[in-house]
């Protein structure tokens, strides 16, 4: 185990690629480089709010001492660190945005573990970089708590994700316009240390392609394959690599749908080349089931990134990546064919996932109709997705009458369903019961499959909102409870949170609607 302050960091990325090493933090275009040196800007009084013991054990990092906390706040850079902000571009809400880059994230270096695994350690909210544009490079407590808890929550749910090692308050005030409505106010500042094997995005490759920096594009592609996809061998590495990205992205979309997660801002610069959930902003879990739900006020009224559209956006974003790496191919026919495999891969994984949620022994072609009926019923009822599936686990084969079925699922209703919707529910559940009776596995086995497929605890936005309000008053009670609850999302250990979103949260900013500043 090593302290952050005593560890010798590696800097393979900056030693491999061209960068702007001036340390100039003035916002500007940086052609010809993949990163810019960016020393964190010190804060008034960094104080540790949270530390992930589990992640620290995995990384072999010692609990932070005072010197380490200075690092976490951006007040200290050790000699072996090379802080930098990555340069990348992207499509935002379907439109080409040009150069973007790490506007409030600074990577300190690469942390190697005794088993030779390597992780980038990155500070989010540590001050301006050349890519901050008009921003200050800071993060507020509100958004930092959300990212810290949610990225760890997704990890314990089994969803591929970046992770958060630490959360510190800064003692500084940061001006933010919460809903982009002209009502700016000061908020408490904070910094998250987050980690991943790599924070490379689709946008890193788009940037090089857009600038016609093809030797750099080829070099970044070859390095990425060798570093993060070492199992890919042979002459056709690039197409095999893209095929794996297609599969990882499809897997990620299926996992989001499984747990009811809505990212909120699926721009290509927010798409991980490793298939990780990255950049937690205006995210939300579904409360009532609605394929058209988006928590992001910036995404209204088009709802491009709504819950049910995320899989198709994954495909669209992969198309942007394919266009970016197309110059590496003499003939793009194989690239197009690999992209088109996405739909088959996605639906194959999706059907298996839904079979698990429903407790089916396998997915049969005839089950497609049942899956569609369940989704239609959930949409009509506007039932709470998490609670509905938990009630499905405890559904008895003897629950067959219309009244009994309606009563069984009543804890998931946000409003009383009308007669037509109750009839639809009854018909769907009867068809479901019939299909379950044809399983080749036991009822007990079916229930166990459902229990590991359907979370019982999800980190709802209203809980985050309440925890943030408490923290802003210097209280940690709910925050600490949530830190523990996220570690056991498939158990009933934290059933104090197993309930519908309260009515007060329906129109509460931070609970129902969020912006990209969230």
Block means of pLDDT (10 residues each) for the chain, 518 residues, are: 95 98 97 98 98 97 97 98 98 98 98 94 98 94 97 98 98 86 88 98 98 98 98 95 98 98 98 98 96 94 96 98 97 97 98 98 97 98 98 97 98 97 98 97 96 98 97 96 98 98 88 68
Q: Kindly give, in sequence order, each residue whose CB lies less than 8 Å from that of residue 457, ignoring residues fewer than 6 positions away.
A: 485, 486, 488, 489, 490, 491, 494, 497, 498
Instruction: Give the whole-angstrom CA distance, residue 491 versus residue 160.
Output: 20
Instruction: Supply φ then ψ for residue 33, to 5 degrees.
Output: -130, 155
- Tokens 């010798």 locate to 8
Q: Look up the pTM and report it.
A: 0.97
Q: How far apart are CA 169 and CA 192, in angstroms?
A: 9
Cβ atoms of 149 and 168 within 8 Å: the answer is no
Give the whole-angstrom CA distance, residue 309 versus residue 291: 7
Is residue 101 left, alpha or beta, with left meaning phi > 0 and alpha meaning psi from -120 to 50? left
Cβ burial 318-347 (10 Å sphere, 16+ → b, else e): bebbbbbbeebeeebeebeebbeebeebbe
Which of the 8 DSSP states describes residue 12? H
What does the pLDDT read at residue 517? 57
Backbone angles phi, psi at 212, to 5 degrees: 60, 30
Task: Tell me whether residue 50 is exposed, middle or buried, using C-beta atoms within 10 angstroms of its C-beta: 0 to 12, 13 to 18, 19 or more.
Answer: buried
Q: SS3 for 172?
A: strand
Structure tokens belonging to residue 7: 């560890």
Q: Tokens 């089916």, residue? A: 360
Q: Sign of the CA dihedral 329, 332, 333, 338? A: positive
**Rounded Cα gap, residues 206 and 87, in angstroms:** 10
Q: What is the dihedral of CA 389, 394, 400, 402, to 10 degrees?
A: -50
C-beta atoms surrounding 147 within 10 Å? 23
269 is catalytic: yes
Please give the C-alpha separations between residue 428 and each of 33, 339, 400, 405, 421, in angstroms, as whole numbers.
Answer: 57, 35, 11, 10, 10
Q: Where are the alpha helices (DSSP H) in 35-104?
A: 53-59, 66-73
The single residue of 20, 269, 279, 299 carrying the catalytic annotation is: 269
Residue from 60, 86, 367, 351 nearest 199 by CA: 86
Q: Please list, in sequence order, all residues whose beta carbon lies within 8 angstroms of the beta carbon of residue 105, skipping any fewer than 6 positions away.
A: 85, 86, 122, 123, 124, 126, 129, 199
| Residue-level length of the chain | 518
List Cβ neighbours of 123 (8 Å cut-off, separation of 6 or more): 40, 72, 74, 105, 106, 107, 108, 191, 192, 193
Provide the CB-side half-sphere exposure for 150 (13 A, CA).
29
* Contacts for 97 with CB less than 8 Å, ≥ 6 apart: 89, 90, 91, 267, 269
């Amino acid at each position: 185990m090593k302290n952050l302050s005593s560890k010798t960091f590696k800097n393979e990325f900056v030693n491999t690629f061209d960068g702007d090493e001036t340390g100039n933090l003035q916002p500007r275009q940086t052609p010809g480089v993949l990163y810019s040196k960016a020393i964190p800007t010190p804060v008034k009084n960094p104080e540790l709010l949270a530390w992930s013991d589990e992640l620290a054990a995995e990384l072999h990092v010692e609990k932070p001492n005072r010197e380490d906390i200075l690092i976490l706040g951006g007040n200290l850079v050790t000699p072996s660190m090379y802080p930098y902000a990555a340069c990348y571009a992207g499509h935002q809400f379907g439109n080409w945005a040009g150069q973007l880059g790490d506007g409030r994230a600074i990577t300190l270096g690469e942390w190697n573990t005794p088993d030779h695994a390597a992780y980038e350690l990155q500070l989010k909210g540590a001050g301006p970089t050349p890519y901050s544009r008009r921003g200050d490079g800071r993060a507020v407590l509100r958004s930092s708590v959300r990212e810290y808890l949610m990225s760890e929550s997704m990890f314990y749910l089994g969803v591929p994700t970046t992770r958060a090692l630490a959360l510190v308050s800064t003692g500084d005030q940061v001006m933010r316009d919460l809903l982009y409505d002209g009502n700016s106010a000061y908020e408490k500042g904070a910094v998250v240390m987050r980690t991943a094997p790599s924070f490379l995005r689709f946008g890193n490759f788009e940037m090089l392609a857009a600038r016609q920096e093809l030797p750099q594009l080829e070099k970044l592609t070859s390095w990425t394959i060798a570093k993060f996809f070492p199992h890919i061998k042979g002459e056709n590495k690039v197409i095999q690599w893209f095929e794996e990205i297609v599969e990882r992205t499809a897997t990620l979309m299926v996992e989001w749908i499984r747990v009811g997660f809505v990212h909120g801002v699926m721009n290509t610069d927010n798409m991980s080349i490793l298939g990780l959930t990255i950049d937690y902003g205006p995210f939300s879990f579904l409360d009532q089931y609605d394929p058209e739900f988006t928590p992001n006020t910036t995404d209204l009224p088009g709802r491009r990134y709504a819950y049910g559209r995320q899989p198709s956006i994954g495909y669209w974003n992969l198309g942007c990546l394919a266009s970016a790496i197309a110059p590496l191919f003499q003939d793009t026919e194989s690239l197009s064919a690999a992209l088109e495999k996405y739909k088959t891969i996605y639906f194959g994984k999706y059907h298996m996932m839904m079979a698990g949620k429903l407790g089916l022994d396998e997915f049969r072609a005839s089950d497609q109709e049942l899956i569609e009926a369940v989704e239609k019923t959930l949409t009509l009822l506007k039932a709470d997705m998490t609670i509905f599936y938990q009630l499905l686990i405890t559904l008895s084969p003897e629950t067959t009458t219309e009244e009994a079925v309606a009563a069984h699922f009543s804890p998931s209703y946000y409003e009383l369903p009308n007669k037509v919707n109750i009839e639809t529910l009854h018909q769907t559940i009867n068809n479901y019961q019939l299909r379950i009776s044809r399983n080749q596995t036991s009822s007990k086995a079916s229930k166990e499959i459902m229990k590991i497929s359907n979370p019982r605890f999800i980190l709802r936005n209203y809980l985050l909102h309440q925890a943030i309000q408490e923290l802003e008053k210097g209280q940690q009670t709910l925050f600490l409870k949530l830190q523990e609850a996220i570690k056991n999302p498939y158990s009933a250990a934290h059933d104090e949170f197993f309930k519908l979103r309260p009515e007060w949260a329906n129109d509460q900013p931070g609970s129902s609607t969020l912006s990209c500043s969230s």
